[in-house]
């Protein structure tokens, strides 16, 4: 079952504890009101409890599905046939990026988990003049502005007093990173079909308001609107409008009050065979509406379903191109940066129409 594992970290300026079930906030600081979950999350038709999640640990598990030594999880659903079919979706040859890179901006959603620094490396020690066009950069792979794919070793749960990750591997960590399910064990890169779910477009707004949950009914309404059906091996892109809101209103603590998927979507993701889930925030609606766990989508997808997540995907350009064509399925391709033992990779994906 989901059990508490305490690891203090500093996120978005507030002390939190990283549990086997995700980020659990400590008491809010002075003059901070505790964020409240959207009231609809408590409706009996969608209510998810810790008991529900415990049941799903077995019902939704993909442990052993691709063998005891598997390191890729649902990426295995991206078959050669799926890749060939995706290539046939290309009609116009127009490409847009889904990447968003880090910034040295000092903001509530920037430089989380570590500082961002960019510097020139060939500098005259006497004059300070730059001698050659050579530079370096350092940043956190889980930065709040970086579109990144989480490795399947990123989240864990407790079994018999031991921290375990997808497929039942022990979560073996040291200063060099993860020993299993690290990002460099998850393949070189992929080409498949992507389906964009543009919830602001469906609702006739520029972005979803903070803490708006997205349910199965919303996803299936979008399928009817767009004339698409999410199927095995697809990358599912879910736009809440985080970047549009930020551009107009500035940064905010989206990791505490962002729109996103409600936990009741989890069985649907498994049934449809989603290979990768991409959000423009943290994928989970924040707060989650599940008492006792703040990021159930993160934990269940990564630990039990083996479904890699992409946080902070940049979905504004792809939304514009898709809407102009009224076509929300397209080819997506990305390369995984092979960080040895890494817990994530920058998501430098390209959508091609």
Report d(CA 166, CA 306) in Å as an integer: 6
Q: What is the CATH number of the domain that holds 312?
A: 3.50.30.50
8 A C-beta contact, residue 108 and residue 251: yes
pLDDT at 258 over 60: yes
pLDDT, tens digit (0-9, with 9 covering 90-100), for 101-114: 999 999 999 999 99
Evaluate whether 109 touches 251 at the Cβ level (below 8 Å): yes
Q: CA-CA distance, 157 to 180, in Å (whole number)?
A: 15
Task: Assess if residue 276 is contained within a domain.
Answer: yes
Instruction: Look at residue 153 and tell me if it is in a domain.
Output: yes
Dist CA 346 CA 149 (whole Å): 6
Asked if residue 22 is part of any domain, the answer here is no
Q: Which domain holds residue 199?
A: 38-118+140-352
Judged against a pLDDT cut of 70, whether residue 10 lies above it is answered with no
In this prediction, residue 33 carries a pLDDT of 77
Indicate if the pLDDT at residue 138 is higher than 60: yes
pLDDT tens-digit series, residues 203-227: 999 999 999 999 999 999 999 999 9
- For the chain, state the CA radius of gyration: 20
pLDDT digits (tens, 9 = 90+) for 292-348: 999 999 999 999 999 999 999 999 999 999 999 999 999 999 999 999 999 999 999
Question: Among 14-23, 95-104, 165-174, 282-291, which stretch is predicted with the lowest mean pLDDT?
Answer: 14-23
Tell me the whole-structure pTM to 2 decimals: 0.90
Could you tell me the pLDDT band of residue 137, with boundaries at 50, 70 and 90? very high
Would you say residue 190 lies in a domain? yes
Give the span between the Cα atoms of 332 and 237, in whole angstroms.
Answer: 11
Q: How confident is the model at residue 31 (pLDDT cuts 50, 70, 90)?
A: low
In the predicted model, is pLDDT for residue 28 greater than 60? no
Q: Identify whether 11 is part of a domain.
A: no
* pLDDT for position 22: 38
Tally of domains in the chain:
1
């Amino acid at each position: 079952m989901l059990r508490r594992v305490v690891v203090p970290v500093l996120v978005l300026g507030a002390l939190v504890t990283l549990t086997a079930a995700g980020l659990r906030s400590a008491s809010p600081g002075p003059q901070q009101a505790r964020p409240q979950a959207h009231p609809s999350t408590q409706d009996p038709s969608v209510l998810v409890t810790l008991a529900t999640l415990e049941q799903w640990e077995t019902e939704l598990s993909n442990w052993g599905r691709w063998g005891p030594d598997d390191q890729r999880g649902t990426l295995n659903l991206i078959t050669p046939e799926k890749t060939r079919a995706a290539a046939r979706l290309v009609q116009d040859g127009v490409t847009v990026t889904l990447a968003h890179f880090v910034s040295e901006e000092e903001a509530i959603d920037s430089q989380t988990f570590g500082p961002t620094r960019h510097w020139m490396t060939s500098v005259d020690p006497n004059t300070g003049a730059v001698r050659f066009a050579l530079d370096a950069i350092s940043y956190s792979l889980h930065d709040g502005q970086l579109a990144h794919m989480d490795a399947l070793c990123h989240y864990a749960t407790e079994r018999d007093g031991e921290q375990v990750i997808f497929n039942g591997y022990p979560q073996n960590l040291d200063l060099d990173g993860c020993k299993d399910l690290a990002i460099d064990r998850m393949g070189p890169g992929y080409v498949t079909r992507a389906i964009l779910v543009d919830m602001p477009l469906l609702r006739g707004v520029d972005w979803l308001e903070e803490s708006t949950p997205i349910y199965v009914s919303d996803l299936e309404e979008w399928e009817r609107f767009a004339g698409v059906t999410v199927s095995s091996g697809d990358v599912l892109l879910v736009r809440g409008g985080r970047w549009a809101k930020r551009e107009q209103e500035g940064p905010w603590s989206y990791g505490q009050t962002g729109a996103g998927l409600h936990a009741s979507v989890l069985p649907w993701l498994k049934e449809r065979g989603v290979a990768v889930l991409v959000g423009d925030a943290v994928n989970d609606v924040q707060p989650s509406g599940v008492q006792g766990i703040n990021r159930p989508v993160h934990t269940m997808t990564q630990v039990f379903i083996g479904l890699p997540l992409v946080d902070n995907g940049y979905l504004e350009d792809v939304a514009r191109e898709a809407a102009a064509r009224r076509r929300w399925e397209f080819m997506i391709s990305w390369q995984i940066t092979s960080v040895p033992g890494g817990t994530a990779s920058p998501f430098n994906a390209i959508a091609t129409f």
